[in-house]
Structure 1
Amino acid sequence: MHFIEGGLMSEHESEQVLENKLVQRFNGLGYKTVNLPDEMSLLSHFRQTLDEQNIENLQHERLTDSEFKRVLNELVGAKSHYQIARQLRGSDANPMGKISIQRDNDETVYLTIFDGLHFENNQYEVAHQITVSGTHENRYDVTVLINGLPIVQVELKRRGVDFRQAFNQVVRYKSESMRGLFRFVQLFVISNGGETRYFANGDGDLNANFMFYWTDRENNWLNDLDAFSASFFTKERLHSLIAKYTIFDSAKERLMIMRPYQIYAVEAIIKQAQDHPDKNGFVWHTTGSGKTVTSFKASQLLARDTDAEKVIFLIDRSDLDIQTSKNFNSYMTAIPGETALDLTTNTSSLVKQLQSHDNALIVTTIQKMNNAVNNPKYKGLLTSYHDKRVIFIEDEAHRSQFGEMRKNVNKWFANSQHFGFTGTPIFSQNIGSDKRTTETLYDEELHRYLIKDAIRDHNVLGFNVEQMSTLVGKDNISDEDVAGIDTREAMESEERLDHIVTHIMLNHDNKTKKRTYNAILAVPNTEIALRYYTLFQQKIKASHSDLKVTTVFTWTANEDSNQDNQGSTFDTSRHGLDHVISDYNETYHTNFSTEDFKGYFNDISQRMKDHNAQTRDENIDILIVVGMFLTGFDSPRLSVLYTDKKLQWHSLIQAYSRTNRVEKDTKPFGSIVNYRNLKKATDDAITLFSAGDESSFYVKQYDELLSELNEHVLQLHKIVERPQDVDELYNQGEDVLSTFVVAFRDVMRTYNQIRVYDDFEWSDVDSFTDQDLESFQGKYQEVYHQIGVRPKKDKTSILEDIDFQIDLLSTDRIDVQYIVNLVKAINLDNKDGRQADVNKIKRLLDKAATDELKSKADLIAAFLDEMVPTLQSGDNIGDSLNAYLAKRREVAVSEFAEDVKLPVNIIEKQIADTQFYGQADQNEMNKDLNDAGYGFKAKRDIKKRLKGFIQETIQRFTLV
């Protein structure tokens, strides 16, 4: 029992008690409780609220029934959640959610649905237990309304129950009944009273790994529902989350909600800019925590909320691969009126932006800005900027801001203010040749979020670091020893490199879950990179392996090693890379060369990110690098870093952090395999960048995991001894089945962590084999499909809300979302790259496995053939695809209307009703068919055809 104010609280406080207390908390925060028992009452309440808030615009004439139908069609209609979310917020320049409709008298009227500038101009309410009918009838726990629209949905479980059951309940609700106005829900909050998370809604599948904690400014969890609500649900904070702290990704057409530390950092920057314009500042947010999103949002709000002449987002060109560039472009093009990132080397385009009064926010590279202020051609045009107030936002400030270019920019923009973002600041311990630290350059630290915080919050993964001995008798060889010529010869000997390649090939499948993920091998120089590449290719050929290995690096025309390399396999690095690229072209059906190095680099980047277990012929499994991809590269698909080079301080943390991006449950941590002794360097770097607390950096070690796995196997055997015994559990009720699900899930979860260790042997596990695991997996999947996702019609299964974590045993499938993402990522900048991307997608369409993808495959293929060749660099492929599908849909509706002798608008209305309400309007359908002159029998046949066409059209022409 626990004491609370006013009495005692049970550890298993009921869901009803939690719900009542939460509603009371909302009332205390100024929300009004409204009684909305069902969907129709929600519609009626929204209509009344809309009338009252727009009464002046409506000239005191409330909306008629027909006008309100137009409102609903304009608000939701056939729109995606992304389009609805954009509509709610208006534009960045004018953040007012508005719609326009034609009144019955043909006049146009504008209606406000959300004021994004002033929180107090909106109406905040709370409802609970709204019943919605769909595939199954659902009753939603607590719904937060803003101006009558459901904006936040809260789902609760009683104390003591796994809060993730509420997540699975949300997933079920989305598929079964979240339609109509409930498609306006922007955020979900789930809680069991003691554990609370929030996450964004969207069109695609929800991922439990992207549920966020809410914290205070010092990164302390506000996990208890009461503490969470007291901070998160104040009117001003909730308004800011909806109006300010979301980012639209136009390329993926998704809404992203920011994490608390990102929000607090942005607020600290805004405050510094407004209160102390003469002082700079920096944000220390660990690598992988989303600094780019934070810095972009800070730039956007600084441009809107300060008196700065320009806000300039300054990036180092070397940090930008093709995907990063597309991310910037997708954020920018989601803001009406803003110019996308310009990556050309033409400095005149930057100068034109600086002279223009159209855009307060400019995104450019430090290289281009340096060229602008140093070129006599532009100095006269930019003289006025000597005194104008300019704010610079500088991403990855630990690298790009310590050189001559930064000094040149500072000298020209004398009245500038600088805000830097870094995951690995420069301290006295890792100081460079210019002897400047991050603090001396940026004056003041504004917010910090360290790697220990990010690992604790599950925003990044912990690390499993293994030290491998590669020289007999020299297990503890140091980096200083490597400087000696004899030791260097030993470290770079063919025998040692061959041993490492053999070790990698023997263990790579195990470390990457049979190549569900990929890896980077970091080496000291281009010569070693080519030697490793050659050894891999020889062994791959000899063993008939399908492992895909390549390398990428830069070269100089006159390298120091050219003379020494005369007569060797490759006399220069470039000649070696020419050979590598030739192999690459043969493997992936591309047409690159060192003359088109950028295209080659971008193609590698895309393949490393698109790595998919079911598209092995398109993957890169191991990428050998010297310096590239060890900083800035961000891919959840990368899980292993093999190192055979010296790393220390920020370069070590940056390299390690390539592997620890959160993905699915099959990726429990980032794996580091060191073939040089980096133990001390690792310990020193962790201590420095964790502010002395490295407790959470490492994941559990082998002995601890083995003990845990044996304990989970023991608990499983208490429920079922053998896989076939699971069949008997069906007769014992779902409570017993649920104990099996939880027990075997624990076994799988621990197995996914221990499997990557070289030490792991099934013989170490008590009374359990790999065959047992495989057999139990089959039974587990059967429970999932029989009951977990297919409940009986007459009752709801308790297994519906259990978190099966099916990702633990599943691999990716080629579905609509995957294909659409590939289409949106087509490289329009390069003709060969464009065609290679198109060919890849077509091959995947031929392998379409799901009915949903099969129904769209011919449309997507036609788009690739007809439209993609006409697109220009910078065009939005997603918008083009949507427009193409809309046109094809219009043709299909028109042809069907002609066939059944019905007006197009009638069919369109029935489609819209089905999408909004979940079913067609039967009464109106009968009336339309009567008006068309159909008799009883003909009407019955046409109704059947019409319903079939509506369902087919919705499935065929809706992407997500």
Structure 2
Amino acid sequence: MIAAFTEHHSVQKRIIDYASQIGWQPLSQAETENLRHFDTSATLPSERAKNSCLFLKDILLQKVIEFNPKYTEKDNDFLSKLKNLRSDIQGNKDFLQFLRGEKTFFCSEENREYNLKLIDFDDHTNNIYHISEEYYFHNGRFGNREDIVFFINGIPIIVIECKNSTKDEALAIGLDQIRRYHKETPEMLIPQQIFTITEAIGFLYGVTWNTNRKNLFNWKSTEDGEEIGNLESKVKTFFDIKRVLAFLKKYIVFVEKDEELNKYILRQHQVEAVEKVVTRALDNQKSRGLVWHTQGSGKTFTIIKSAELLFKQPEADKPTIILLIDRNELEDQMIRNLRSLGIQNVAHANSIAAMRDLLKEDYRGLIVSMIHKFNDMPPNINTRKNIYVLVDEAHRTTSGDLGNYLMAAIPNATLIGFTGTPIDKTAYGRGTFKTFGIDDPNGYLHKYSISDSINDGTTLPLYYSLAPNELRVPEDILEKEFLKLAEAEGVSDIEELNKILEKAVQTRHFLKGKRRINKIAEFVAKHYQTYVENLGYKAFLVGVDREACALYKKALDKYLPTEYSQVVYTAAHNDNEELKQYHLNKEEEKTIRKNFAKSGTLPKILIVTEKLLTGYDAPVLYAMYLDKPMRDHALLQAIARVNRPYEDEEGKKKPFGLVIDFIGIFDKLEKALAFDSDDVKSVIKDLVLLKDLFKKDFENIAPKYLGLIKPPYTDKEVDKLIEHFKSKSKRKEFFKFYKEVEMLYEIISPDAFLRPYIENYKLLTQIYYIVRNAYAKHIYVDKEFQRKTIDLVKENVDIENLEMTTDAYELDANTIELIKKGKKPDNVKVINLVKTLGKYAEKHSGDLVLISLKEKAQEIQENYENRIITTQTALEQLEALIKEALGQEDEKKSKGFDDLTFFFSVKLTEYGFKNSDSIAKSFKESFKKHPHWQQSEADTRELRQEMYLTILSVTDDIEKAKKIIDDLFNILLKANE
């Protein structure tokens, strides 16, 4: 027999081998449990683990004493402190502070506190590095076993969940298990900081206490990051000891968002940029740098971490670091984030005078401010060299006189610019390169382009569709009042854009025409309900100014429930009554922002003109109805609101962001986005391309599947499909293709374009359902299909009849002969036998013996599909299982046993006990005495002890007795999950 790919042999064991080659010492499970002080005399796994330590206790104590000469155990019990940390994200943050040496211990001799050192980050050779598998923990209610854990100085730091590469959705299953650990045994996740998931093909990483799929990243062990597989390279680069220490010391961050503590890890492009920024800042020869990271790729964290690490560099010699933010609303947020990182020396220069005084008085620390605070600043106010200015949105922040004032005031400072948009070809763009890019041949210190971001899944592609021609701004007016204006080129500040639009009288008059507003509101309402709401997403409606927003709200309320939409704009004291009715106080706006970002809550549409078009992050936002002339950076920043990845609870992913253009700006794409053509192509594409893709799929690929069967579609055609798709690789290829086509259909529909394809799409959907129903353990139609496809199929196809494609027979003495004599292909017979056993097991769900039979049947099917056994062997093995099931049912009836007693009898017979029936009856009596064993640990302990003593009364083999009890309870617990 050919050995199958297994999770342990093909993945878990290989990781341990590769990690041991780069300095991690392997420990066996037994060695690890010994070092954790497991109670080896206990019979219950939870009892053995009950008083054990999360850490390799002796090793940790040894390193604590070695690293902290003033530490004495009589004055300190730091293990109790660690054990008593909260089992939530706050406890995890506190533990990371312990790891980083930010917590203290008390020295009674000197009557003072010292920082407690657990890891030597300066000399990595002083630490001890271990790797172990099957790390078990029980909290009294739940027990979990992690596949692989990495330890530093006896502390569990990183967990790996390993999956079998032959399983469908292996990585998703791995993530679900990581989530289960958090839910059931959060205590074991207090010290663990990072998790990874791999099936030897992909390699995902993230931080504990953040299991959101969008914060789980692909690890790239090569520069192009294109490799699939290459587990050895990924393990050896990710778990490089210096890299792991850097993750722990520098690149895990805790920040508050919407009053909740969140945890993140910087991605590879962020880490690379931070390290280059720090290196450039300390370079005596160069004093400029430009970091170009596309919108939505985590630029804010890159800036914050650059500032933090630069401030802590001894070579910086107590520097001044100025963070120039481009929006008022972000200043307070930036200060909170900096302080949450433990940086206390943070000043807020909220006025010109405050900035002047801080520089004049030679303040050392971080200063958060805006470029406007340098207005009229005296030259040479501080000529020190170790002043570092990190400029957010550098493509506009330092343009004009304000940039000149900044550079004259601190002439020897190092300036590092950060931009989220491609560098444009206008004077603004050239100015950005000139200001920040002079010290680098390519003009930038580090680049993470839109294409990079889309390839990595950090952001999504953007598609646009032009609104009907009669609703768009007349081309001559748009050209004259906006596109041809030199001052509109390269504008990235929406306030500047608004000033230009105030002069565009004809454009604004057209945009706010009463009939047009009403028509667009009707269009938006219909489009939202037809194309957006059905997919479960939300939308922005962008008006030219605040008055337009108010007008749109009134018009939209005619076509949608009033609670569907909300207006969000800045209030002014002299606003008229029409504008005042949509004023919001801070708390109201905060609630709207929060609720909009959640799926399934109101509001569903936000009507905006300036607020929320930069910086606001709501991944559930899918569509933007754009009715405001915009271009270049301002346009790119606005439409980037819809490019954030999103995945719902059922695992359905947002495919891209959609912009519906009521201006006609995308009809002049080269003028609208004055960037290099390659960057423009990466930014946004015409929705027509999706129709082209759908057409190509149906003309080039679909025929090979549609041609597998011919009308009339009888059971014989169904059998052909089942036979054709018995290969797992063929099924994977087809499922992937179908899901792509289905998503395109959902987005495009309803559209006259689809009319010629509907019949074939319905047939393709039926083929998909037949194959899924034949081979899946369970099939849930509503979850398998997108919403519009469900409607199409239910209207046109009696899909329930398709369940007859494979048959689950009633299991009796005639079943085998009935299936054998049938005219179905052997492949279908295998599937029918597996389903028959599964149905029988479900019908007798209380019969624990049948659980193993069902699992054996599924294992036979897996081996058959993976070509480990032949069709004939599979049929013979399944026939033997059916005979076994029927025989056991007869035996149970003849003995008069209930399900539990019979289960014990069968298992004890397998263990070699001749008097298994009497032992089983004794076990049953013990269970009667402890009916609440699943809820009470004390009852479980007593029940196990009774069963253990019963077995010892007939055997002297203590180890065998322990193993039997463990096996029986594992099956019982699994059956009750």
Deviates more, 1:434-443 or 1:647-656: 434-443
Distance 1:272 1:10 in 2: 54
Give the TM-score normalised by the residue count of structure 2.
0.63
Distance 1:778 1:668, change over 3 A: closer
Could you tell me whether the CA contact under 8 Å between 1:141 and 1:154 is conserved in 2?
yes
The 5 Å alignment of 1:692-771 reads 692=679, 694=681, 698=685, 701-705=690-694, 751=742, 754-757=745-748, 759-760=750-751, 765-766=758-759, 768=762
Q: Deviations over 1:145-193 (max 9, x none)?
A: 1111111111222334444245335335415764545431111111121
Q: CA deviation at 1:582?
A: 1.8
- Whether 1:192 aligns to 2:192 is no
Q: CA deviation at 1:776?
A: 2.2
What's the secondary structure of 1:635's corresponding residue? coil
- Whether 1:638 aligns to 2:621 is yes
Q: CA deviation at 1:605?
A: 6.0
Residue aligning to 1:624: 608
Distance 2:71 2:408 in 1: 61
Q: CA deviation at 1:680?
A: 5.0
Select which of 6, 9, 13 maps to 1:16: 9
Distance 1:26 1:462 in 2: 37
Paired positions, count: 732
Distance 1:707 1:718 in 2: 19
Q: Which amino acid aligns with 1:631?
A: T
Query: Unpaired runs of 5+ in structure 1?
Result: 1-8, 558-573, 585-591, 593-598, 723-734, 801-917, 925-960
Q: Deviations over 1:424-466 (max 9, x none)?
A: 2444x2323x962334444231110011111111111111211
Could you tell me whether the CA contact under 8 Å between 2:131 and 2:151 is conserved in 1?
yes
Q: CA deviation at 1:98?
A: 4.9
- Whether 1:298 aligns to 2:306 is yes
Select which of 368, 373, 388 maps to 1:368: 373
Residue aligning to 1:312: 321
- Whether 1:282 aligns to 2:290 is yes
Query: Unpaired runs of 5+ in structure 2?
Result: 38-54, 483-503, 714-725, 770-778, 787-834, 836-840, 859-935, 943-977
Which structure is larger by alpha-carbon Rg, 1 or 2?
2
Q: CA deviation at 1:252?
A: 2.5
Residue aligning to 1:52: 62
Residue aligning to 1:566: none
Q: Deviations over 1:792-824 (max 9, x none)?
A: 997798999xxxxxxxxxxxxxxxxxxxxxxxx
Could you tell me whether the CA contact under 8 Å between 1:332 and 1:339 is conserved in 2?
no
Deviates more, 1:153-162 or 1:650-659: 153-162
What's the secondary structure of 1:288's corresponding residue? coil
- Whether 1:498 aligns to 2:518 is yes
Could you tell me whether the CA contact under 8 Å between 2:253 and 2:265 is conserved in 1?
yes
Q: CA deviation at 1:363?
A: 2.2
Could you tell me whether the CA contact under 8 Å between 1:455 and 1:697 is conserved in 2?
no
Select which of 387, 394, 397 maps to 1:397: 394
The 5 Å alignment of 1:852-931 reads none
Distance 2:62 2:88 in 1: 26
What's the secondary structure of 1:244's corresponding residue? helix
Q: Deviations over 1:536-560 (max 9, x none)?
A: 34x25xx6554324252577x9xxx
- Whether 1:128 aligns to 2:117 is no
Residue aligning to 1:236: 242
Q: CA deviation at 1:127?
A: 1.1
Distance 1:232 1:126 in 2: 14
Q: CA deviation at 1:99?
A: 5.7
Residue aligning to 1:409: 406
Q: Deviations over 1:508-540 (max 9, x none)?
A: 134433595432233444554454344334x25
- Whether 1:466 aligns to 2:483 is no
Q: Which amino acid aligns with 2:319?
A: K
Distance 2:590 2:317 in 1: 36
What's the secondary structure of 2:415's corresponding residue? strand
What's the secondary structure of 2:523's corresponding residue? helix
What's the secondary structure of 2:321's corresponding residue? strand
Could you tell me whether the CA contact under 8 Å between 2:538 and 2:605 is conserved in 1?
yes
Q: CA deviation at 1:217?
A: 8.1
Residue aligning to 1:479: 478
What's the secondary structure of 2:282's corresponding residue? helix
Q: Which amino acid aligns with 1:688?
A: F
Q: Which amino acid aligns with 1:622?
A: L
Could you tell me whether the CA contact under 8 Å between 2:543 and 2:549 is conserved in 1?
yes
- Whether 1:671 aligns to 2:650 is no
Distance 1:353 1:609, change over 3 A: farther
Distance 2:554 2:784 in 1: 44
Q: CA deviation at 1:295?
A: 0.6
Could you tell me whether the CA contact under 8 Å between 1:22 and 1:226 is conserved in 2?
yes
Distance 1:41 1:124, change over 3 A: same
Q: Which amino acid aligns with 1:623?
A: I
Distance 1:486 1:419, change over 3 A: closer
Residue aligning to 2:219: 214
Q: CA deviation at 1:85?
A: 3.7
Q: Deviations over 1:7-26 (max 9, x none)?
A: xx999676413322222211
Q: Which amino acid aligns with 2:466?
A: Q
Could you tell me whether the CA contact under 8 Å between 2:105 and 2:116 is conserved in 1?
yes
Select which of 227, 233, 239 maps to 1:227: 233
The 5 Å alignment of 1:798-809 reads none
Distance 1:462 1:309 in 2: 43
Residue aligning to 1:144: 150
Distance 2:703 2:349 in 1: 55
Residue aligning to 2:930: none
Could you tell me whether the CA contact under 8 Å between 1:27 and 1:33 is conserved in 2?
yes
What's the secondary structure of 2:131's corresponding residue? strand
Distance 2:472 2:626 in 1: 20
Q: CA deviation at 1:415?
A: 1.5
Residue aligning to 2:34: 41
The 5 Å alignment of 1:233-632 reads 233-250=239-256, 251-276=259-284, 278-305=286-313, 306-316=315-325, 319-321=327-329, 324-325=330-331, 327-336=333-342, 338=344, 342=348, 344-345=350-351, 347-348=353-354, 351=357, 355=361, 360-370=365-375, 373=377, 383=381, 385-427=382-424, 429-432=425-428, 436-443=431-438, 444=440, 445-471=444-470, 479-480=478-479, 493-513=513-533, 516-526=536-546, 528-537=548-557, 539-540=558-559, 545-552=562-569, 574-576=574-576, 578-583=577-582, 592=584, 599=585, 603-604=588-589, 607-611=592-596, 616=601, 619=603, 621-625=605-609, 627-632=610-615
Distance 1:335 1:799, change over 3 A: farther
Q: Deviations over 1:209-255 (max 9, x none)?
A: 32112236855346532221222211111110111111111443232
Could you tell me whether the CA contact under 8 Å between 2:311 and 2:319 is conserved in 1?
yes
Could you tell me whether the CA contact under 8 Å between 1:163 and 1:195 is conserved in 2?
no
Distance 1:450 1:659 in 2: 17
Q: CA deviation at 1:143?
A: 1.4
**Which structure carries more relative contact order (alpha carbon 8 Å, separation 6+)?**
1
Residue aligning to 1:87: 94
What's the secondary structure of 2:642's corresponding residue? coil
What's the secondary structure of 2:445's corresponding residue? strand
Residue aligning to 1:159: 165
